[in-house]
Amino acid sequence: MQFLNDLDIGEMIAITEQWTGALKPVFLGIAELAPLLPRVEEDHGALVNARAGSSAETALRALSDQAKALDSRHDHLQRALHFGLRAAKEALLGQDPPDVALAEAIDAAHEKLLPTGLEVVKASYESEAGNAVQMAQLAKKELSGVLEQIRVLPNVSALDLVLQIGTVGASLGAVEQKKSMTAVAAAKEEIPAAEVRRRMRT
């Protein structure tokens, strides 16, 4: 398997993962290769362990998990805000007599905070983070009077919700920054092929 020496560790793992997984029956079906399977499985395990030993790679995976969790929270909160404002507006218009003035104020607040509606949850993590922080600033500066009148939970107003979105967005932005720096460190920490082979022999 001399050609593996010319690949980086990620490319090696991509190949050996196929040989020990999806393509294993094909591998075993070739008489000349079948006896080599135990060595391939051993080398695959060594490659995975070698990559796992990279501290930057480990940190990058942890940061990616954090970003995913924060993105999920962000999206849930944005949906709650969208539907909460819409529900409040419709409820006010359904009263007898309808509170048209407050309904219109809520509609205007929705337009300012969520001009594209739920498209906001489809943006990149970085864009979501920046937008969330801007939303919180706008809510505090211009829309607090209206948003405080809307309850999305017994003890949570629409203003509270927007401020939560801002906090989660700021955290997501910080994690994305760390991811960028850690990705650079991971690239510098790339394990040379010679080191991989040494680890595979131990």
Of residues 185 and 7, more confidence is placed in 185
Of residues 189 and 65, more confidence is placed in 65
DSSP-assigned letters across all residues of 100-169: HHHHHHHHHHHHHH-TTGGGGGGS-HHHHHHHHHHHHHHIIIIIHHHHTT-EEETTEEHHHHHHHHHHHH
Which of 170, 188, 174 has the alpha carbon at shortest distance from 131? 170
Q: Which pLDDT value is given to residue 32? A: 80
**Could you tell me if 114 and 82 are in contact, meaning their C-beta atoms sit under 8 angstroms apart?**
yes
Of residues 29 and 81, more confidence is placed in 81
Domain boundaries, the chain: 2-52, 67-186
CA gyration radius, the chain: 26
Distance CA 39, CA 172 (A): 43
Distances (CA, A) of 5 to 67, 196, 198: 34, 9, 12
Q: Which pLDDT value is given to residue 53? A: 54
pLDDT 10s digits, 150-195 = 999 999 999 999 999 999 999 999 999 998 888 777 666 555 555 5
Average pLDDT of the residues in 108-128: 96
Q: Which pLDDT value is given to residue 2? A: 44
- Is the pLDDT reported for residue 149 higher than 80? yes
Between the two ends of the chain, the Cα-to-Cα distance in Å is 18
Enter the tokens of residue 168.
Answer: 């989660």
